[in-house]
Chain A
Amino acid sequence: MNALQVTGLIARHGRRAVLRGADLHVGQGSITALLGQNGSGKSTLMRSVLGVHPRTGGTVRVLDLPENASGPRVRERVTYVPTGGAVLPQETARTHFAFGARIYPRWNPQRALDTAAELHVPLDQRAGRLSTGQRMGLALAYALGSSTELLMLDEPTNGLDPDHRQLLAQFLVAYAAEGHSVLLSSHVLPEVEGLADHGAFLKDGRVILEADLDELRTQHAVVQAILPDVLPSGSIQRLSSVSGVRGFEVQGRTLTVHVQGGREALLAALANLKPVDIQIKPRPLAEVYDDLLGGGA
């Protein structure tokens, strides 16, 4: 069973269609990264899942709830932390946790307190007086304390310093290890690379690719060949027609080729050029992200 299954989701901001038939699934126990540029609809997708943003089409299925279920019964099992964290400015962390204990059936007070302590969130200071990072820390501690089966975090590392980002990654991995699922959106690709096991790339209101991040990393490679001489004319056209080739860079006698999928055909084509040396490296996820979503990673 998936923790979340979104099919053909359509949502608007006024007249502007933000989501134009987005499909997404989040497996149970997985950490899925939702990647996309600003304005691509990441927040809207999460809010639509929760039912706090109006959906104009498509279906959303959360856990074992009926299709397009909404309201408190969804929010009892799904927690959403928006960018910057939503808190009650006039209340302290302790009051937030006391409130959480009243409304979440599986509230875990110890996890909330531990997370707050690790993220240096003062328990008795009003949330409105906390720094941006502390406020986000409180929102995350509250969300983790809720012990809901699906956690949706919108840009959760915004405002957190590098140490706290590292801690958050550990918390999320531990949370997922208990069978909970996490959907997080982020622009900070190095963190996503080390944290998420699954990625969904959102562009122009659609998820253009869903993939296992390890598979994605191994699928996309960089083949670098040092040639005995400058590249003969017509070689680029020949290499372009080789299956899987996504792009080239030529610097002097060094030819760099971006390839997706099988490399055998490319290596055979390169062999004709009698290279002095050939190296194959996995392509950084940030570059894949650039290719898929048009830069800005």
Chain B
Amino acid sequence: MTWLEWRHVRLPLSLLGALALLVGVGYASRVLHSLPPFASVHELGPWANGSTCTLWAGLLSNRESTCTVGLQFAGRWFDWWAPLLVTLVGALFGSRLNSGLAFLQLQPLSTTRILAVRVIAGLAAVTLAVLVSAVLVSTRGALDFTWWHSGAVMRSEFWIATALVWGRGVTVFVIAGLLTQLVPPAVSALAAITGSLALLGTPIDPFVRAVTLVYTPEQFGELAQRESIPLQVIQAFIAAHAPLRVEASFPLLGWTLAATLISGILMALLFTRPRSQ
């Protein structure tokens, strides 16, 4: 089975590898053309998406006044192409889960084994695409967080972001694999791709990790009075001040991972069921 599966996936995997290299090199050489290597921090760092100050005075002065800066990870440094690539890879491999099954289920092979080989092939393809993306991005300075006061934290954030992109690919793979048990492969692939890309970068995208840095109004100083603060000013502020606390919200990601797990189990049950025809 592994021998046959390798024969089936070697062409799409080669094409994907070539596509990843082509898009990654193209992105690095054109989009980041003006940026020197290892100095592209403003482009490749976390995406500061605005600041909000809530100041309490008078009778309500006993409440805590705060200024917050929202940061989004996995939305900026991989930009659009890594999530897009893993979405395509996940959808392709998920939708081909039943490929040739009419023949394979008549062979002396257990359905569990066929499923296991197919799932491993899909996960390997998604992982390969993510790793190629990560390598290409890291060579352009994504690991250099000199403006951030805690480089070690940011390096871990890079890998968390990588994991989030991987999670997107796996979820798309599972959804496409589940749908392909119910509808034709082309429809399942299209539905999974559309769903992933429609959410990409939106506030309800579970694979964008939002972190909020909370400061005191005193730390913000004059900035607290301004409504529209340029990105580089926010980044300079973050570099110079340690936040009062960091708030991160994971429920959406948690729910998504739970739903992916349930979908995976459902997919396996539907795949291994005896089929009427």
Contacts and interface: CB of A to CB of B under 8 A. Distances in A.
B274 A103 contact: no
Contact of B110 (A47, A71, A82, A88): A71
A86 B108 contact: no
Interface residues of B, number: 18
Contacts of A102: 3
Interface residues of A, number: 28
Nearest to B3: A102
A76 B7 contact: no
Contact of A75 (B100, B108, B274): B108
B108 A90 contact: no
Contacts of A88: 4, 100, 103-104
A82 B102 contact: yes
B8 A75 contact: no
Interface in B1-19: 3-4, 7-8
B153 interface: no
B275 A103 contact: no
Interface in A67-101: 71-73, 75-76, 79-80, 82, 86-91, 95, 99
Nearest to A74: B108
Contact of B100 (A14, A47, A54, A89): A89
A52 B105 contact: yes
Contacts of A72: 108-110
A129 to B, nearest CB: 15
A79 B277 CA distance: 17
A53 interface: yes
Interface in B131-176: none
A103 B100 contact: no
Q: Identify the interface centre among B4, B104, B106, B110: most chain A CB within 10 Å of its CB.
A: B106
Contacts of A47: 277
A73 B103 CA distance: 17
Contacts of B107: 75, 103
A17 B107 CA distance: 27
B106 A50 contact: yes
A90 B274 contact: no
Interface in A203-260: none
A52 B108 contact: no
A76 B108 contact: yes
A171 interface: no
A52 B109 CA distance: 12
A51 interface: yes
Nearest to A80: B106
B interface secondary structure, majority: loop
Interface string B81-116: 000000000000000000010111111111000000
A104 interface: yes
Contacts of B103: 86-88
Contact of A13 (B105, B106, B276): B276
Contacts, number: 52
A43 B274 CA distance: 14
Contact of B4 (A80, A99, A104): A99
Nearest to B11: A90
Nearest to B273: A54
Given A86-B103, A102-B3, A14 B276 contact: yes
Nearest to A96: B103
Nearest to A55: B274
A14 B102 CA distance: 19
A104 B106 CA distance: 12
Contacts of B106: 50, 52, 75, 79-80, 82, 86
Given A52-B275, A82-B102, A86-B102, A103 B109 contact: yes
Given A71-B110, A76-B108, A53 B276 contact: yes
A60 to B, nearest CB: 13
Nearest to B113: A72
Q: Identify the interface centre among A72, A79, A80, A104: most chain B CB within 10 Å of its CB.
A: A72
Cβ-closest 4 pairs across A and B:
A76-B108, A72-B108, A54-B274, A75-B108
Interface of B: 3-4, 7-8, 100, 102-110, 274-277
Interface of A: 13-14, 43, 47, 50-54, 71-73, 75-76, 79-80, 82, 86-91, 95, 99, 102-104
29 contacts: A14-B276, A47-B277, A50-B106, A51-B274, A52-B106, A53-B274, A53-B275, A53-B276, A53-B277, A72-B108, A73-B108, A75-B106, A75-B107, A75-B109, A76-B108, A79-B106, A80-B106, A82-B102, A82-B106, A86-B102, A86-B106, A87-B103, A88-B103, A90-B8, A91-B7, A99-B3, A99-B4, A103-B107, A103-B109
Given A13-B276, A53-B277, A75-B107, 15 more contacts: A13-B277, A51-B274, A52-B105, A52-B106, A53-B275, A54-B276, A72-B108, A72-B110, A73-B108, A76-B108, A87-B103, A88-B4, A90-B8, A95-B7, A102-B3
